[in-house]
Amino acid sequence: MIAESMYQELILEHYKHPQGRGLREPYDAEVHHVNPTCGDEVTMRVKVDDGGKVLDVSYDGQGCSISQAAASVLHELTTGSTVEESLSVVDEFTRLMQGRGQVEADEDVLGDAVAFAGVAKFPARVKCALLAWMAYKDAVVRSQA
Amino acid sequence: MNAESFDVERIRKDFPILSRELPGGRPLVYLDSGNSSQKPTQVIETMREHLASHYSNVGRALHALGSESTEAYETAREKIAAFVGAPSRDEVIFTKNASEAINLVAYAFGNPVNTDERFKVGPGDEIVISEMEHHSNIVPWQLLAQRTGATLRWFGVTDEGRLDIGNLDELVNERTKIVSIVHQSNVLGTVNSVSPILARVREVGALMMVDASQSVPHQPVDVAELGVDFVAFTGHKMVGPSGIGVLWGRRELLDAMPPFLGGGEMIEAVWMDHSTYAPVPHKFEAGTPPIVEAIGLGAAVDYLTSVGMDEIKRHEKELVTYALDALDGFPGLRIIGPHTAVARGGTVSFTLEGIHPHDVGQILDDVYGIAVRVGHHCARPLHLRFGIPATTRASFYLYNTTAEIDALVRGLHHVQKVFG
C-alpha cells in the first residue's frame, strides 16, 4: 500500500477541514494559478502590513486532496509570520517536493508541511502540492511591488 | 466464432503484461485501454522477428533486406485496408497517430496550393465538429479556422451524453465545407450514428471525416459502408504499437490534396526550384516511416481478426452492461454518459461526490493495482459541458473480465472510506 506514504492522516485532515479557506478582504494582491494537466485551480489573496508581517492568506479553489490540503497547510504556516520567514518555508517546501523523495525534510522549518514528504515520490502529484505554494509566492511578490 | 468459443482467460494468456505483478505484490487490473491498449505476444514477436531478421529501410533499398522490409510494410498496409474495408490499399496512409491523420486532412483545406473547389475555405465558410470531440479533433480545426477566417461550429451534447443533432439542418448548411465527428466518444462511450449527419453533408455538398480512434479497435468498422470521406484511427489503441496511425481517404480526394509533409520518398522528381509528387499513399508518407510499427499494426489486425471483431464487440457489451449495472446506484457516483448499453462502447466515466478523480485514481492504483485514467481525457470542452473539471474513466477491452469490474467496485468503496 504505497499510497499510505502519501495520504498521511494530517493531509486528509486538512482536506476534510480546510483552514482559512474562502477569499477575504482586505488584500494587497490576488493571483489565480491553474495546473493545466489536471484542471486544479487556486485563487489566492495576501495582506501584508507595513512591517512585512503577513496578516492574512485567503484562498479558494478546487482540486484533489493534495492540492487542497497543501493550501490549508500553507495558510496555517504563513499567516502571522513575516514575508521573509514565509518565503524561506516556501523554498524549503519546494526543495522537499522536487527532491524525488531523496530529500530529508527540515521539520523545524516546515512544521505540518513535512506530512507532504511522501508526495515527492509521485512525480505526477508534485505539481498538485506546489500549486498553492507557487501562487502564494507570486502573490507576495506582487504585494511587495 | 460463437459465444462459447470466446474464452477471455485464453485471450489473457496472449497478453504477457496482464500476468505481471506490481510492486507490493498487487495484481494488475488494467482498465485503461481507451488510453492505450496492451499488446499480445503475436504483435511483440512479429516486431521482434522483423527487427531480428528482415529489417532495413523500405521503398528505396534495393537489396534483399530492402525488398523483404518493403514487402512486409506494404503487406501490413493491405491487411489494414482489408480490416477496415478500404476499397483500395492505396487509400490507407500511414501516419504517426490519429492526430496527425486529422491534421493532414485539415491542412488540405484553405491551402493556397489546393485549387480543388471542395477544399477552398475562407471567411464565411464553416467547419462543423462536436462538443464531445477529443482535442485531436478540435484543435486542428481551430487552427484551420484561424488560418482562413472560416467559422468553427459544433453539435452540442445532451444531458444523457448523446450527440444533439436537433439543429442538424441549420448547423450543416451551404456554407459548411467539412464536418468532422467522433465515431465513439473516448469519455462518454457513446457511439454516434453517422448516417443522418452524412445524408445532410451530402445534401449541402460538404465533406465528412470520422475520428474512429475509439471504434475501430472495438467493433467492426467498414469505411465503405460508413460512406464518409475520411477516417482516422491509431494503432496503439487496437493492440498495435504506438507511433503508427492511419488515415483512410477516398482516392480521388487524396489525389486532389496537397502533400502534408515534404521529404524523402514522397516525391516523383525534384529540381532545385520545384518538385512533383509520388502517387498516394506515398505522397503523404515523407521520410522513413515507422516501419516496424506498421508491420506490428498488421500483426495486430491479424490478431483482432482471428479473435473476431463481432466477438470483441459482444464481449465488451457484456462488460459495459455489467459495469453500468454495478456503478449505477453506487452511492455518490455519477456516470457521465449513457446509462444503458445501447449504441455505447466499453468506456465508463464517472465522478464520485466530494472526491477528486486524481485521489480516486491514486488509491485504486496504489492499493489495488487498478489502472484507470483520471482527468479530462483530452476532452476538456466536454467536461466543461457537464460542469466538472475531471472524471475517472474505466475503459474495457477484449482481455477484461467481470471480476476486474468487481475489483473496481471494491476499490471505489475503499476510496470512499479513505476520503469520506
Q: Give the model confidence (pLDDT) of B19-29 as tens digits.
A: 999 998 999 99
What is the chain A residue with the closest CA to B420?
A: A16
Partners of A6 on chain B (C-beta within 8 Å) are: 362, 366
SS3 B191: strand
Question: Is B356 buried (19+), middle (13-18) or exposed (0-12) by CB count in 10 A?
Answer: buried
Give catalytic residues of B, as residue numbers. Answer: 378
How high is the pLDDT of residue B273?
A: 96
CA pair distance B196, B192, nearest whole angstrom: 10
**pLDDT of amino acid A1:** 46
Residue B1's pLDDT is 42
Across chain A, what does the average pLDDT equal? 91
Question: How far apart are the C-alpha atoms of B80 and B301, rounded to whole Å?
Answer: 7
For residue B416, the distance in angstroms to the closest alpha carbon of chain A comes to 12
Cis peptide before B281 (omega within 30 of 0): yes
- Nearest CA-CA distance, residue B376 and chain A, Å: 7
Q: Specify the pTM.
A: 0.92
Rounded to an integer, the average pLDDT of B340-363 is 95
Interface test with A, best of B362, B380, B386 (most A CBs within 10 A): B362
Ramachandran sector of residue A101 (left: φ over 0; alpha: ψ -120 to 50; beta: rest):
left
pLDDT tens digits, A57-102: 999 998 999 999 999 999 999 999 999 999 999 999 999 999 988 8
Average pLDDT over residues B409-418: 96
Task: Give the count of Cβ contacts less than 8 A between chain A and B.
Answer: 54
Check: complex ipTM more than 0.85: no
Poorest-pLDDT segment among A115-124, B299-308, B390-399: A115-124
Residues of A in contact with B388 (CB under 8 A): none
* Residues in chain A closer than 8 A to B390 (CB atoms): 38-39
Q: Is residue A105's pLDDT more than 90?
A: no
The answer to whether A102 contacts chain B (CB < 8 Å) is no
- Per-residue pLDDT tens digits for B312-348: 999 999 999 999 999 999 999 999 999 999 999 999 9
Amino acid at B329: G
Which residues of B make CB contacts under 8 Å with A? 23-24, 355-359, 362-363, 365-367, 374-376, 380, 383, 389-390, 418-419
DSSP strand pairing (B370-371 vs B245-249) = unpaired
Query: pLDDT value at position B2?
Result: 47
Q: How far apart are the first and last CA of chain A?
A: 46
- Counting residues of chain B whose pLDDT is more than 70, the rounded percentage is 99
Q: What pLDDT does residue A4 have?
A: 58
Backbone angles phi, psi at A32, to 5 degrees: -130, 120
Angstrom distance (rounded) from CA A102 to CA A108: 18
Backbone angles phi, psi at B29, to 5 degrees: -115, 100
Q: Of B335, B288, B342, whose CA–CA distance to B188 is shortest? A: B335
Residue linked to cell 509566492: A137
Say which residue the cell 492574512 belongs to. Answer: A56
Closest CA to B419 of A13, A121, A67: A13
Is the CB of residue A39 less than 8 Å away from at least one CB of chain B? yes
State residue B245 phi and psi, 5-degree precision. -135, 175
Q: What digits encode the pLDDT tens for the residues B90-105?
A: 999 999 999 999 999 9
